[in-house]
Amino acid sequence: MIGLRIKQSRKSKGLSQAELACKLGLKTQSIQQWESGRTEPRFARLEQLADTLNVTIAWLHGLDPENHQPQDHLLELQRQYKELAKNASSNALQKLEQMGWLSISRKDIPIDAMADIISNEIERSIKGLNL
């Protein structure tokens, strides 16, 4: 079952066995063996494989016929978070400048660009927390 699902997912992503192997840091032979059913990926590789193919481990094992893709939902949440962080940063910078607490002497750098820098720093800090 898992070999067929790997092959199906790989093909739906338009990847050759060699391309998938390269993305996973493996030899093409490993992908061939998985897809033929001679061997199965170990759990650590299975996680990496599912992430690369944007499928769930449960679906690869045949336990989830629908192939729910929580990654898509998480990507959308991440996009929304970035937008909120950028807007909040921009609003905060504007408010601080209006209150006289911040003097932006470099008028050639738009507040939006500064907001991007701040939101990226916030995102890096959150990633460091491993939430």
Tell me, what CATH number does 48's domain have? 1.10.260.40
| Dihedral in degrees, nearest 10, Cα atoms 60, 31, 16, 19 | 110
If asked whether residues 77 and 49 sit together in one domain, one would say no
Q: What is the pLDDT of residues 10-65, one digit of tens each?
A: 998 899 999 999 999 999 999 999 999 999 998 888 889 998 998 888 888 877 66
> Does residue 101 fall inside a structural domain?
yes
User: pLDDT value at position 75?
Assistant: 63
If asked whether residues 40 and 76 sit together in one domain, one would say no
Phi/psi-derived region of residue 66, left when phi > 0, alpha when psi is between -120 and 50, beta in every other case: alpha
If asked whether residues 86 and 108 sit together in one domain, one would say yes
If asked whether residues 16 and 44 sit together in one domain, one would say yes
Given 16, 36, 60, the domain boundary residue is 60
Which range is least confidently modeled, 32-41, 70-79, 115-124?
70-79
CA–CA separation, 116 and 57 (whole Å): 35
